[in-house]
């Protein structure tokens, strides 16, 4: 069971829909509030309410908050078919096979480039969000190809600042180059 929050409904929210009012009060999305209401986790004066029911000023509202989502974690495990083509103090270039994600994410349980590099003993930049440190560009799970991963903080910064250029004719501007325009 998640944390339960109980509070009076301010007069300023009188007549407002439950999903809109609770969203304002708690700073969570209307969709999240609607889901909680559908699960019976929103009570107004002790009775279950739906997302489009109206709030009444100075009534008491009780909301069972959702459990915090677990953040994706890097799992150091060897990745079959992933080859390190080049490495130095600043970068690691890998040939990523199909079926491997660039980094951990919610819902992904398969192998990752970052996990494979960790298992192989490579030190990766500590810059970036925790689950994707060192990643400055991604290839989809269903795509194979070369990836440059930042091993140093300096390389991470320079690669993130590098201009984006279109792929040969496809209009894809997600790939980064180290050169300047």
Give the tokens for residue 7.
């509070």
Tell which residue, 108, 75, 88, has the closest CA to residue 149: 88
- DSSP annotation of 54 reads B
Sort 28 into a burial class: Cβ within 10 Å, 0-12 / 13-18 / 19+: middle
Sort 141 into a burial class: Cβ within 10 Å, 0-12 / 13-18 / 19+: middle
Q: At what angle do helices 30-38 and 18-26 cross, to 10 degrees?
A: 120
Query: What does DSSP say about strands 145-150 and 83-87: parallel, antiparallel, or unpaired?
Result: unpaired
Residue 53 known to be catalytic: no
Name the catalytic one among 45, 140, 167, 172.
140
Residues recognised as catalytic:
140
């Amino acid at each position: 069971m998640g944390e339960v929050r109980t509070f009076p409904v301010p007069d300023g929210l009188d007549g407002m829909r439950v999903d809109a009012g609770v969203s304002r009060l708690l700073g969570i999305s209307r969709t999240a509030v609607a889901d909680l209401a559908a699960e019976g986790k929103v009570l107004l004066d002790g009775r279950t309410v739906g997302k489009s029911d109206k709030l009444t000023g100075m009534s008491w509202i009780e909301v069972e908050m959702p459990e915090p989502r677990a953040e994706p974690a890097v799992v150091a495990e060897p990745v079959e078919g992933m080859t390190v083509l080049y490495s130095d103090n600043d970068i690691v270039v890998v040939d990523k096979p199909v079926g491997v994600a660039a980094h951990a994410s919610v819902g992904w349980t398969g192998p990752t480039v970052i996990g494979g590099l960790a298992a192989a003993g490579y030190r990766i930049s500590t810059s970036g969000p925790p689950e994707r440190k060192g990643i400055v560009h991604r290839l989809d799970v269903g795509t194979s190809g070369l990836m440059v991963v930042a091993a140093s903080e300096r390389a991470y910064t320079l690669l993130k600042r590098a201009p984006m250029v279109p792929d040969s004719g496809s209009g894809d501007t997600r790939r980064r180059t180290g050169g300047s325009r």
